[in-house]
Chains A and B, each alone.
Chain A
Amino acid sequence: MKISSFKWLFGRNSEFWPTNMKTGMWAWVGHRLTGLALVAYVFLHLSFISTASMAEGGADFDVLMETTSQPLFVAMDFLLVIVVIYHAMNGLRVVLFDLGVGIRRQKLVFWVTMAISAVLIVGGLLAIWHLVFPEGVA
């Protein structure tokens, strides 16, 4: 597939217009967007660590850890969890299809991987919840 092989990129007649997209197309677009976001995240992640590791004795690192434990950053961490899990699970589906597994039931496989993703995301939420509220606030 190739962007230029799509007839229309924008507007109601576009293959990318939400109501014109089918399951596989949504999965593909989602994979692209989460992939690009994750590449951006890697560079952001390295920038954060590099500013912190420059300090003698690690004082800056400890300050950074304090900053990144604020609710805003924890919320963004959870967003990262969602993005990573979607990309990993949909990627697994792509690998399975390339191996010839499940292509004939591609929609079902998509929803099964999404169900597994949902479970993992809830698990991630519980793990983060525990880190934010170690005393067990409901």
Chain B
Amino acid sequence: MSEQTVATSKVAGTWAWAFQRISAVLLIVFLAVHLYASHFMDVGEETSGESLITFDEVSLRLDQLLYIVVDYGMLSMVLLHGLNGFRTVLFDFDMFVKRKKVIDVTLWVVGIGTLIWGIVILFPFISGAGG
């Protein structure tokens, strides 16, 4: 069998396929909770009379576990789903199928690095540093 006839799903693997479906459904749930928690629960909005979101309001929100769980849970799911989807797109091209190992390692490094970055940039809000 020549390389040209190998389907992307075969290259990407069953776990990647299954995970993409599971994370997709989870993301729809996360998105609904995120939108509701961000725009309809009105937590912290009493701290200022303005409609603009401020550092202090976000800080007040992140005092609650719900916001931390939703933010970090959604971040990890988005990164896994997004980079896994990007991986599928890459494996549609033979030039990337040939470099499967390099791509897999790179995507894991980028994903975990970005996750740590995303976790760290919320710290000032959670601790309310200077706020």
**Residues of A in contact with B (beta carbons under 8 Å apart):** 1-5, 32, 35-36, 38-39, 42-43, 46, 49-50, 53-54, 56-59, 61-62, 65-66, 69, 84, 88, 91-92, 94-95, 98, 127, 131, 134
Contact = CB atoms under 8 A, between A and B. Distances in A.
A3 to B, nearest CB: 4
A42 B82 contact: yes
B52 interface: yes
Chain A, interface SS category: helix
B85 A39 contact: yes
A113 to B, nearest CB: 12
B124 A53 contact: yes
A1 B92 CA distance: 8
Nearest to A131: B51
A103 B6 CA distance: 24
A88 B27 CA distance: 9
B117 to A, nearest CB: 6
Contacts, number: 91
A3 B54 contact: no
* Contact residues on B (Cβ < 8 Å of other chain), bracket: 35 or more
Nearest to B86: A39
Nearest to A124: B35
B19 interface: no
B5 A62 contact: no
B130 A56 contact: yes
Contacts of B58: 61
A79 to B, nearest CB: 16
A95 B24 contact: yes
B83 interface: yes
A61 B93 CA distance: 41
